[in-house]
């Protein structure tokens, strides 16, 4: 699978999700989708990012948009994280790094002076036809969910 590029269709994929049914990307055709990748459940930045998307979820839903978060954590970890934070959207588990590879989000990072492989915090906004319309990589959590919402609104207004 090729890494999606802005303006190109994202390849279909299936992943395990916190509602215990497979998430099938193509089943969301007709809806814009936000897929955000985060490093680890229950860490401060990842918790804040999820809370921010959750707080804005009604505004995303008003635009018919679905949101899913992705990390390499297990489904059990995701279910606990989602329940504890009351996230109203699902989290996808990617322990084999299939989605991470598709979206090219695995990077070498410095953690406490050591090089480690991990997810580079990234978000992808995909339109109702499955076309990638925006991406953010190596992003800062503060204000990010609002930026994604504003971009989605702008796209909705400028759509032919």
- Give the catalytic positions in this structure: 46
The structure tokens listed for 45 are 């930045």
Give the strand pairing for 66-71 and 90-93.
Answer: parallel
Q: Is the dihedral of CA 127, 132, 136, 137 positive or negative?
A: positive
Q: State phi, psi for 78 to the nearest 5 degrees.
A: -60, -45
CA-CA-CA-CA torsion sign (135, 141, 143, 145): positive
Q: How wide is the angle at C-alpha 50 spanned by C-alphas 156 and 113, nearest 5°?
A: 120
């Amino acid at each position: 699978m090729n890494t999606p590029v802005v303006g190109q269709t994202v390849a279909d994929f299936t992943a395990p999700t916190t509602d215990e049914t497979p998430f099938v990307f193509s089943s969301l055709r007709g809806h814009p989708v936000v897929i955000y990748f985060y490093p680890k459940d229950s860490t401060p930045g990842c918790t804040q990012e999820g809370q921010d998307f959750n707080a804005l979820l009604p505004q995303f839903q008003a635009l018919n948009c679905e949101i899913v978060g992705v990390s390499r954590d297990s489904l059990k970890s995701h279910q606990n994280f989602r329940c504890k934070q009351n996230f109203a959207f699902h989290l996808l588990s990617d322990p084999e790094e299939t989605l991470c590879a598709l979206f090219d989000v695995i990077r070498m990072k410095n953690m406490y002076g050591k090089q480690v492989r991990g997810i580079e915090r990234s978000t992808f906004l995909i339109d109702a036809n499955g076309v990638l319309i925006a991406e953010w990589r190596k992003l800062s959590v503060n204000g990010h969910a609002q930026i994604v919402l504003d971009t989605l609104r702008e796209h909705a207004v400028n759509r032919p």
